[in-house]
Amino acid sequence: EIQMTQSPSSLSASVGDRVTITCRASPSISTYLNWYQQKPGKAPQLLIYGASSLQSGVPSRFSGSGSETDFTLTISSLQPEDFATYYCQQSYTTPQTFGQGTKLEIK
């Protein structure tokens, strides 16, 4: 089973800040990495697939990068609606696995 480790587990930031969330895979997953945003009481929503491709309709302030074992999700300028929990997920092989989540809170 591929292990996905996110850091940090929680993060406080202000509107307008640039934020980076990290996801590490073990072992390597090439670029088979997705990012999701989840708000309380809601289902996760796809932000990024293939490590760096922006899902249709997702604002361009979200971007993803990385390959093999190290990946990042960056929000270039935080907006109020971005405060949520973010999950990475590997789609390289089954069983599919998710990171434990990063909760982004308002400072």
Partner 1 sequence: QVQLQESGPGLVKPSETLSLICNVSGGSIRSYYWSWIRHPPGKGLEWIGFIYHSGSSEYNPSLKSRVTISIDTSKAQFSLRLTSVTAADTAVYYCARWSGGYYFYYDNWGQGTLVTVSS
Query: Which residues are at the interface with partner 1 (CB under 8 A)?
Result: 1, 31-32, 34, 36, 42-46, 49-50, 53, 55, 87, 89, 91, 94-101
Q: Convert 84-100 to b/e letters by CB count within 10 Å (16 or more is b).
A: bbbbbbbeeeeeebebe
Task: Write down the least CB distance from residue 69 to partner 1, Å.
Answer: 17
Q: What are phi and psi of 81, to 5 degrees?
A: -80, -5
Which one, 17 or 67, has the nearer CB to partner 1? 67
Q: Which is nearer to partner 1, 2 or 17 (CB)?
A: 2
Q: Which is nearer to partner 1, 71 or 87 (CB)?
A: 87
Nearest-CA neighbor of 24 among 42, 51, 56? Answer: 51
